[in-house]
Structure 1
Amino acid sequence: MKKQLFFITLFAIALSGCKSKSNISNTTGVVAVTNYENAKRYLANAQYDQGLDAIEKAIDENERTHLDELYFLKGFILHAYGETTDARLAYQQVIDMEKAYSPYKTKALQLLELNIKEEKWRKENEQNKDEKETFSKEEVEKMDAKTLPFQPVDELPRFTSCPEATNMEVKKCFNEVIRDHLVANYNSEIGNIFGIYEKVRTYISFKVDIDGQLIDLQGRSQSRFLTLEAKRVIFTLPKMLPGRADGKNVKVPFAVPVTYAPIE
């Protein structure tokens, strides 16, 4: 097969959430406000230190109704800030809870596995130790297809649900699978939870290795929380058939632009 040069870049994917900014306000009436409620309000106003402190207090008070959510938010915040060990402990608390149903358990499992993999990738790639967690809007906007990785391959990696076809057709199917996966699994409320009320673009890069596994997952965004959520969803993509060049399986880099846009 003739070797071709491909820009491994997917179309931007827009994910929307309702714009409903709330403010912490004082009232003259005697209203009991729980630490759980305080935590949610602080986070929605982008006061993350105060929000994490209120989460800790709510956990200490053992607010059982919201305990899984509290531990999940604690783990997510710590994970986003690189506090990997404490994040794992919080995720494990969610996983170990004996609750008939928790919407946070599956996500905690995914993030715990991602957390462990990230540590492994960091050790294998020393240059990632200095990776920036957040980027200015100007830095993100300057990124385009010309700055993203490309590699000559004979056969692009593909999902098993995509038919064996030309690279152009495989790429089209690849884009569609990732788009549908993001739309189905991305938490569109993430912006409201963490006080993000503007359009934000996140670039997620990764490689498909010689075994079809996703590795070296990284993200660039103005928001570390939107970055982590996009990474979580991309991390859960199904295994792929690896790319090939010169008759051998090869690693192939990809970049996925994901745009979060709150509904006005």
Structure 2
Amino acid sequence: MKKTILLTALIILSIACGSQKSGMSQNGKNSEKSDDQEYRDRFQNAKELIGREKYSSAILNIDHMTALQLNNGDYTPQRYKAMILQVTGEKEEANIIYQNIINATDASASEKNKARQLMLINNEKKAPLLNEINRLKDSTEFKNAIKVIEVPPMFPGCETLPQETWNKCMSRGVAKHIVRTIDVDIAQVTSNTGFIRSYVNYEIDTTGHISKIRATGKNKFLNLEAHRVMAQLPQVTPGYTNGEKTVVSYTIPIRFTVD
């Protein structure tokens, strides 16, 4: 019989962002310097507006950047715009931008991958939260959620360690995955707010895959990035209870901050 076991893990991620370059080539013309500076200033303003959840104003800044035609293969601003559209319910418009990035010949492989990952999340069909809560109230998995599992899920490489270290090893593996996968530049949207925390709820199913990801927190834009990062978690060894594979639920806080 399937059982969902609730475990809570704490991972706080502080993201240090370096200062942005502001110089131009000495051979550049004055008008080019002006346009380039406006391009950078617009993007910095857009990030700060995203941090304050002023999404419409952020999009206006990104649209002004697009009009300058200075992207030089950098599709980050367009991805940010698509993410804003996604979290504000404009899913079709977001998909169009993601597809444009995927099709762009001058977009980097990393940027294309992020667009694909976000597009998959955008196209997920989710049951209404209220229906999910009502479904869980009287379910066996809810009633058994507080029981302790015999063997926790194990991150690749944890299997060879002593059993008493498996939980810590799993947490370290997830933390390292977050650091490797997260878009560091996105933390810059917190420059005027100190830090913003996203809480990610997810399950490790009986096949060892992550499922039912739900990120909540003050800023929907950062919640989406947290969701994207966790959706890339590699397959792990599933947990066991009473000799049977079991579903295990986790809650992880991720703190976005600029140092």
- Post-superposition shift, 1:49? 1.2
Q: Which residue of 1 aligns with 2:181?
A: 185
Q: Which residue of 2 aligns with 1:161?
A: 157
- Post-superposition shift, 1:250? 2.1
- Aligned 1:43-192 pairs, distance under 5 A: 43-46=46-49, 47-59=54-66, 63=70, 65-66=72-73, 68-99=75-106, 101=108, 103-116=110-123, 119-120=124-125, 122=126, 125-127=127-129, 150-163=146-159, 168-192=164-188
Q: Which runs of 5+ in 2 are unaligned?
A: 21-29, 134-144
Q: Which residue of 1 aligns with 2:16?
A: 17
**Cα deviation digits, residues 171-204 of structure 1 (max 9, x gap):** 1110110111112222232132465541222211
1: CA distance, partners of 2:200 / 2:233? 13
Distance change >3 Å, CA 88–CA 102, structure 1 → 2:
same
CA contact (8 A) 2:191 2:258 kept: no
Q: Which runs of 5+ in 1 are unaligned?
A: 22-28, 132-148
| Residue range with higher mean Cα deviation, 246-255 or 231-240 | 246-255
| Residue range with higher mean Cα deviation, 66-75 or 221-230 | 66-75
**Cα deviation digits, residues 145-190 of structure 1 (max 9, x gap):** xxxx744322222223221666532211101101111122222321
The amino acid of 1:251's aligned partner reads V
CA contact (8 A) 2:200 2:226 kept: yes
Give the secondary-structure state (helix, strand or coil) at the position aligned to 1:238: coil
Distance change >3 Å, CA 178–CA 128, structure 1 → 2:
farther
Distance change >3 Å, CA 175–CA 89, structure 1 → 2:
same
- Post-superposition shift, 1:111? 1.5
Aligned residues: 230
The amino acid of 1:173's aligned partner reads C
- Post-superposition shift, 1:97? 0.8
Distance change >3 Å, CA 225–CA 167, structure 1 → 2:
farther
Q: Which residue of 1 aligns with 2:243?
A: 247
Higher strand share: 1
Higher helix share: 2
Q: Which residue of 2 aligns with 1:258?
A: 254
2: CA distance, partners of 1:128 / 1:96? 38
Give the secondary-structure state (helix, strand or coil) at the position aligned to 1:110: helix
- Post-superposition shift, 1:17? 2.9
Q: Which residue of 2 aligns with 1:223?
A: 219
2: CA distance, partners of 1:100 / 1:222? 31
- Post-superposition shift, 1:220? 2.0
Please give the TM-score of this superposition, normalised by the length of structure 2: 0.73
Distance change >3 Å, CA 212–CA 130, structure 1 → 2:
closer
Distance change >3 Å, CA 243–CA 130, structure 1 → 2:
closer
- Post-superposition shift, 1:98? 0.9
Q: What's the % identity of the aligned pairs?
A: 22
Structure 2 residue aligned with 1:42, among 37, 40, 45? 45
